[in-house]
């Protein structure tokens, strides 16, 4: 399978604990995005990377959230001191951006469903 | 301000019939892209179809077509010959040139295909 993969698929944690999610993009994709999706809503943009550089962060990304893409391949999203409001599906997407291209398509992974008790 | 509006929380369609899922958008940017994604119960967002604001023709991809009415700011998804496997959530999304890293999604429409 050469699609975007995410691990774990499900995570249950207690309030105040730290959690880390991993995303493996489609190989050779230079962009990687993180989104959050709450029940009954569409995904909301959190942050994105161009290769290893984190170029943009949404206001939704509080100081408790940190994302990395150390070698420009896989990425991790860590949430510190989780709160019940962090319960959501966390989606990762990747895309290949080339010069002169129009709007590139983002390909999504299956998501990590987080439940904070 | 809401950028993408999907006014149909749920839709039903008979198998083999066509269905239209509505999407309206709001932007002052002349350059933008519109996307439709399908999300089955498994959670993965599956890309279906894309329309650029400067594209002269409506996009088509197999059984999916996009009814793009620029003046009305609508980008409705038409699914022809519905199949049981089409039952899922469908999301309309937009990216604008001035902020093209932020893809805005609507709230989605849940489509149920009846046998």
Query: What pLDDT was estimated at residue A108?
Result: 94
Segment B85-108 mean pLDDT: 89
| Residues B17-28: tens digit of each pLDDT | 999 999 999 998
Q: What's the token pair of residue B85?
A: 């496997």
Distance from CA of B95 to the nearest CA of A (A): 8
SS3 per-residue string spanning chain B: CCCEECCCCEEEEECCCCEEECCEECCCCCCEEEEEEEECCCCCCEEEEEEECCCCCCCEECCEEEEEECCCCEEEEEECCCCHHHCEEEEEEEEECCEEEEEEECCCEEEEEEC
Distance from CA of B37 to the nearest CA of A (A): 10
Instruction: Please state, in angstroms and rounded to a whole number, the distance separating the CA atoms of residues A97 and B22.
Output: 29
More confident residue, A20 or A104: A20
Distance from CA of A16 to the nearest CA of B (A): 26
Confidence band, pLDDT 50/70/90 cuts, at residue A6: very high
H or E element: which one contains A10? strand A10-13
B64/A contact by beta carbon, under 8 A: no
Chain B contacts in chain A segment 88-117 (CB below 8 A) = 89, 91, 93, 102-103, 105-111, 113
Confidence band, pLDDT 50/70/90 cuts, at residue B105: very high
Query: What pLDDT was estimated at residue A100?
Result: 65
- In this complex, do B43 and A113 lie within 8 Å of one another by their Cβ atoms? yes
Mutate: best of A7, A42, A93, partner B, most B CBs <10 A: A42
The partner residue sitting opposite B103, judged by closest CB among A45, A89, A110, is: A45
Average pLDDT, rounded, for chain B:
93
Instruction: Please state, in angstroms and rounded to a whole number, the distance separating the CA atoms of residues B104 and B115.
Output: 33
- In this complex, do B43 and A41 lie within 8 Å of one another by their Cβ atoms? no
């Amino acid at each position: 399978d050469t699609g975007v993969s995410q691990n774990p698929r499900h995570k249950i944690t207690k309030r105040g604990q730290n959690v880390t999610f991993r995303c493996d993009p489609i190989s050779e994709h230079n962009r990687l995005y993180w989104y959050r999706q709450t029940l009954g809503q569409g995904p909301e943009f959190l942050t994105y990377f161009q290769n290893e550089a984190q170029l943009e962060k949404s206001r939704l990304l509080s100081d408790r959230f940190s994302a990395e893409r150390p070698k420009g391949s896989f990425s991790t999203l860590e949430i510190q001191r989780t709160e019940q409001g962090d319960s959501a599906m966390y989606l990762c997407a990747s895309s290949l951006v080339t010069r002169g291209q129009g709007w590139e398509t983002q390909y999504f992974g299956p998501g990590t469903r987080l439940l904070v008790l | 301000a809401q950028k993408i509006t999907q006014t149909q929380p749920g839709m039903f369609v008979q198998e083999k019939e066509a269905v239209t899922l509505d999407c309206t958008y709001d932007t002052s940017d002349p350059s933008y892209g519109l996307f439709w994604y399908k999300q089955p119960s498994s959670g993965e967002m599956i890309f279906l179809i894309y329309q650029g604001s400067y594209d002269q023709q409506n996009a088509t991809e197999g059984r999916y077509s996009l009814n793009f009415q620029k003046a009305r700011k609508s980008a409705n998804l038409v699914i022809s010959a519905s199949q049981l496997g089409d039952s899922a959530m469908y999301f309309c999304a937009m990216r604008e040139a001035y902020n093209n890293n932020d893809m805005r999604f609507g709230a989605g429409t849940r489509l149920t295909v009846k046998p």
